[in-house]
Amino acid sequence: MQREELVDLNAFAVVAEERSFTRAAAKLGTSQSSLSHTIRRLEARLGVRLLTRTTRNVALTDAGERLLATLGPALESIDSELASLRELRERPAGTIRITTSEHAATTILWPALERLLPQYPDIHIELSIDSSLRDIVADRFDAGVRLGEALAKDMIAVKISPDVRMVIVGSPAYLAKNPPPKAPNELAEHSCINLRLPSSGGLYGWELEKDGRELRVRVEGQLVFNNVGMIVRAVKAGLGLGFVMEDHVATDVAEGRLVRVLEDWCAPFSGYHLYYPSRRQPSAAFSLLVEALRYRG
C-alpha cells in the first residue's frame, strides 16, 4: 500500500465517523475542498462511490459501509499501537542494549544501575562486555561506553566519569632488584607485562605524556595477557612492570604492595562517555539512564 492510499483511507474513515466534511476537515487539520478532493481521488481509484453528499449531511453508500467495516478495526489497531508507543516514550520502560568495556561496566555502569533499576522495574538493561570497538548501529546497540578519545565524530557523547589516568607500577621486591626507570627509554631495561588488544590483535604501546610531549613506547617482557586483572596479579608477583588504569591498583599503591614509577609521564586524559547515534529519538527509559550516568563533577 502506498502512503497516499493510507492517507486517503484515513480521511474517508474520519468523514464517515463525523458524517460531515466540515467537522472532518477540522479534525484532520485541512480544508473542506482538499478533503473533498481526497475522497474523490479514493473513489476514483476504487471505482465506486463511497459517500452520498447532500447540503445537510453525508451518508455512506453500501460500498462505503463495507469499506468502513473492514477499515475501522485496522485503523483502531494502528491507533492503539501508536498510543502504546507514545506511552513507552513517556513511561520509563523497555530494553536498553549497551556495549562497554569490563572496566567501565564495573566502575561506572554497575554502581548507577544498582541504584536506578530497583526504582524502575519496567526498565531492562543488557550489557555486552567487549573491549573491541563495536559498531553500535550495525550491531543494534542503543548505546556504547568508551573513553573520550575513542569516540566517533558523528555520535552524541555524554561524559559519565571524571578524567582517568594510566599508571606504571611494580612491586617493591621487583624494584629492589631493578632500579626504577627515570625516563621512558629506560623501560627497555625492564621486564614489562604486555596487553594484547582485542580490537587489532596487536600489543598495546604504552602511551606516555609530559609537558605536551607524547610518546608511545613498545615494551618487552616474559608475559602477555588480554586481561588487566592478570597483569595486576603478575606485577604483584614481582614479574615485571605493568601499565594499567589507576583505580585498578589504587588500594595496592596506598597500602604499599605496589609502587608507581614515571609518575610525571602519566598524564590524565578524557574519561568514559556514553555515546549513541545523533539521529536516535530517546525513550523515557534511555533519557533516564543518561541522566543517571551523566558526570557532574
Of 88, 114, 140, the residue at which a domain comes to its end is: 88
DSSP 30: S
Residue 8: pLDDT band by 50, 70, 90 thresholds?
A: confident
Print the domain residue range for 150. 94-163+271-293
Same domain, 140 and 195: no
Nearest Cα residue to 61 out of 46, 50, 73: 50
Nearest Cα residue to 92 out of 273, 282, 278: 282
Of 62, 88, 114, the residue at which a domain comes to its end is: 88
The pLDDT of residue 116:
93
Is the predicted pLDDT of residue 165 greater than 90, yes or no? Answer: yes
CA-CA distance, 174 to 192, in Å (whole number)?
11
DSSP 119: G
The pLDDT of residue 200:
72
Same domain, 141 and 209: no
Residues 225 and 196: beta-carbon distance below 8 Å: yes
Other beta carbons within 10 Å of 216: 10
C-alpha cell at 259: 609502587
Same domain, 71 and 98: no
Same domain, 173 and 255: yes
**Residue 94 backbone zone (phi > 0: left; psi -120 to 50: alpha; other: beta):** left
The pLDDT of residue 59:
84
Any idea what the CATH number is for the domain that residue 37 is in? 1.10.10.10
Same domain, 44 and 190: no
Same domain, 196 and 224: yes
Domain total for the chain? 3
Per-residue pLDDT of 26-59, as tens digits, reads: 888 888 888 888 888 888 888 888 888 876 778 8
% of the chain with per-residue pLDDT over 70: 92
How high does pLDDT run on average in the chain? Answer: 88
Same domain, 74 and 102: no
Nearest Cα residue to 270 out of 157, 163, 166, 165: 163
Residue for cell digits 568495556? Answer: 101
Same domain, 149 and 78: no
Residue 88: pLDDT band by 50, 70, 90 thresholds?
A: low
CA angle 283, 97, 288 (to 5 degrees): 35
Same domain, 186 and 276: no
Instruction: Lowest mean pLDDT of 76-90, 116-130, 212-226, name the range.
Output: 76-90
Same domain, 158 and 221: no
The pLDDT of residue 159:
95
Any idea what the CATH number is for the domain that residue 128 is in? 3.40.190.10
pTM: 0.64
Of 56, 88, 120, the residue at which a domain comes to its end is: 88
Same domain, 111 and 138: yes
